[in-house]
Amino acid sequence: MKKSTFAVIGLGQFGTTIVEELLKLDKDVIALDIDEEAVQRIGKITSTAFVCDSTNEKALRELGIQDVTNVIVCYGDNVVASILTTAILADFGIKHIVVRMDNDYYIPIIKRLGAHEVVTPQRLAGVGLANRIGNDDFLDYYNLSGNYSVVKITVTANCEPVTIQALNPRNEFGVNLILIQRGNNTFAPKALDKIQPGDIVFVVGHMPDIEDFGNYINREPAHNLDAEIETPADFKKRMNKTKKATTTKKPKKAKKE
C-alpha cells in the first residue's frame, strides 16, 4: 500500500490547524502559500513549507505535488484560486482532494472540477479533518475534553477475527472499545465478542493510542501459517523501528519565475 502523504495549500488559521494536527500524527506534509509571512510562520514547525502560487502548474510540479496522495486546499474566500488549483490537482490525478469553500454556491462547481470532499472553515473542522484523513481507516473523529477523542475505525479485510478479551485494548493500547457496528446492528461488545473484517469500531482514548490500535487490528496478516500471532507489544516495537529507519525525502524548492 502506498504511504499516505499530504499537501496543505493556503496557510490561514484553517490550513495552519490542519498542518499542525497532521504533524502531531507524524505525517509527511508539504505546506504551501503565496504569502511569504504565512510560510515563515508555519516554517517554525516544519521544514517543508514553501512559497508557491498554487495556480501555477509548473511550480506545483517542481515541489512534487503530483506525487502526493492527499491535498487540502484551504483558501476559502479566494474562489478563483480554489477553482484553478482544484482543476490542476484533478489533472494530476491526486487520490483525495479536499477543498474548503465558504460560498455554498460554488460547492457543486468545485466537485465537478474534481474535489472529492468540500468542508466548512471552522477551526474544529480542521482538527477533525486532519485526524480523519491522516488515518486511512478512520471514518470520523470527535474531540472530547482532556485530550480524549472518539474515533470510528473501519476494520479492513486484513483483520484476523479476534475476541475483545484476547485483544485487551484497555491494557495493551490504553483505549476503550465502546461499540461495534456490524451491518445494521450496533452493540456494546463483551469479552468474548469478536472484531471481524467489515466491522466499524468506536474507540475512545488519546489520538496516538487510537492510531496504534487501528494500525494493529488492520496490520498485514502473516503469510507464514506457522508464524506466531504478533502481540501488541511486538507490533509497537516493529512500528517504532520502522519509523526510525524511515527518512523522508524533502521535495525540491520551486524555482522563481
Give the per-residue pLDDT at 68.
96
Structural domain includes residue 55: yes
Number of H helices, E strands in the chain: 10, 13
Same structural domain for residues 89 and 19? yes
Among residues 114, 133, 152, the one where a domain terminates is 133
Same structural domain, 16 and 114: yes
**20 and 117 assigned to the same domain:** yes
- Phi/psi of residue 177, each to 5°? -90, 110
In a domain, 167, yes or no: yes
Q: Is residue 51 part of a domain?
A: yes
Which residues, listed in sequence order, are joined to residue 98 by a DSSP beta bridge? 72, 117
Q: Among 133, 156, 175, where does a domain finish? A: 133
In a domain, residue 42? The reply is yes
Specify if 68 maps to a domain. yes
Asked if 73 and 119 count as a contact pair (C-beta separation under 8 A), the reply is: no
State residue 119's pLDDT score: 84
pLDDT at 233: 73
**Which CATH number belongs to the domain containing residue 142 in this structure?**
3.30.70.1450
The per-residue pLDDT for 54 is 95
| Statement to judge: residues 126 and 214 lie in one domain | no
Q: How far apart are CA 201 and CA 182, in angstroms?
A: 9
| Pair 122, 160 in one domain | no
175 located within any domain: yes
Confidence (pLDDT) at 124: 43
Domain contains 231: no
The pLDDT score that the predictor gives to residue 126 is 58
* Domain-ending residue, one of 133, 151, 174: 133
If asked whether residues 129 and 159 sit together in one domain, one would say no
What does the pLDDT read at residue 247? Answer: 47
Residue 96 sits in the same domain as residue 77: yes
At residue 44, the pLDDT reads 94
Range of the domain at 10: 6-133
My answer on whether 126 and 10 are in the same domain is yes
| Domains contained in the chain, number | 2
159 & 82 share domain: no
pLDDT recorded at residue 79: 85
Question: What pLDDT is recorded for position 102?
Answer: 83
Low-confidence ranges of the chain (pLDDT < 70): 1-2, 120-146, 221-229, 239-257
What pLDDT does 143 receive? 57
Q: What is the CATH number of the domain that holds 89?
A: 3.40.50.720
Asked if 31 and 48 touch (Cβ cutoff 8 Å), the reply is yes
8 A C-beta contact, residue 199 and residue 217: no
Residues sharing a CB contact under 8 Å with residue 70, sequence separation 6 or more, in sequence order: 4, 5, 6, 7, 94, 95, 96, 97, 98, 133
E strand or H helix at 70: strand 70-76
Shared-domain flag, residues 92 and 156: no
Same domain, 181 and 74: no
User: Can you give 3-27 as a three-state secondary structure string?
Assistant: CCCEEEECCCHHHHHHHHHHHHCCC
Residue 51 confidence (pLDDT): 97
pLDDT value at residue 74 = 92
Same domain? 57 vs 144 = no
Q: Considering only the C-alpha atoms of the chain, give the largest distance between any 2 of them, rounded to a whole number of Å.
A: 64
